[in-house]
Amino acid sequence: MRAAAALGVRSVSDVPATHSSAGVDLVRQATGGDLDAFEELIRRLQSRVYGFAYQHLRDVHEAHDLAQEIFVKLYRNLGRYDPERPFEPWFWKLAANATINYRRKRVPLPAESRDDAVDETAGRAHDPALLQALAQLDPAYRLPILLHYYADLSLEQVGQSLKLTVPAVKSRLHRARAQLRNSLAEAEQVQETS
């Protein structure tokens, strides 16, 4: 974590910024239409949202676009949020939907420019093997992994976000972890032989 800070990167395991009572008040104010509160809310969420988008798309420019889209969608849907219910699961469900829709409509970038965008930050990553393995994962498996481990959603919440049953989420997580494990083992073997 300290190493990550020194590298100028932010960990995905930061404490959710909207769980405190101040965070709850902020959400309430933003829901009431206070733009300053909304700005502060996205300031607190931006690291995790941008990180989530980056881990999913592996491209800094696209991560920026997706994070922006998630926040605009949040603003437009704040009126539908029920303040009696926890904010984070509701928000991440919205973020997951925005991510799915974003992937559907996005035009793939030329391979060269994508590689440049990834390489820009890959050199600074503290777990490059895992990042590489995650990048190779099918999006259908990567999204549940990110929502569960990155956004810290429960299996039920991941299921709600992706319109999947809990057993289906478990199955995807199992397969995803198995694929990640295989990729990591292969990477280790390559490293040992070289």
Partner 1 sequence: MTEHQPLACARVRVLLESYADGELARTDPREATAVRAHLAGCADCRRQHEQTVSLPFRLRALSSPPPPDSLIAGVMRLVAPSRVAYRRAWTLIFPEAVLATFILWYLSGLEGLTSVASGIVTDLLDLAGWGSGSGRLPSIPRADVLLLLALIALTAIAAYHLSILVRLAPGGLSGRRAAGD
User: What's the rounded Cα separation, in Å, for the pair 162 and 143?
Assistant: 9
Asked if 126 is part of the footprint of partner 1 (rule: CB under 8 A), the reply reads yes
User: What's the rounded Cα separation, in Å, for the pair 139 and 172?
Assistant: 11
Residue 13: is it exposed, middle or buried by C-beta count within 10 angstroms (0-12/13-18/19+)?
exposed
Q: Please state the closest distance from residue 175 (CB atom) to partner 1, in A.
A: 8
- Stretch touching partner 1 by CB under 8 A, among 19-27, 82-90, 108-116, 170-178: 170-178
Nearest residue (CB) to partner 1, 61 versus 103: 61
**Of the candidate residues 86, 114, 121, 164, the single one contacting partner 1 (CB under 8 A):** 121
Residue 78: is it exposed, middle or buried by C-beta count within 10 angstroms (0-12/13-18/19+)?
middle
- Stretch touching partner 1 by CB under 8 A, among 16-24, 62-70, 88-96, 97-105: 62-70
Q: How far is CA 80 from CA 31, 32, 76, 94, in A?
A: 9, 11, 9, 11
Q: Which parts of 70-99 interact with partner 1 (CB under 8 A)?
A: 71-72, 75-80
- As given in the structure block, the two tokens for residue 180 are 């990640």
Binding stretches for partner 1 (CB under 8 A): 1, 4, 7-13, 31-36, 38-39, 42-43, 46-47, 49-52, 54-55, 60, 64, 67-68, 71-72, 75-80, 120-121, 124-127, 130-131, 134, 145, 149-150, 170, 173-174, 177-178, 180-181, 184-185
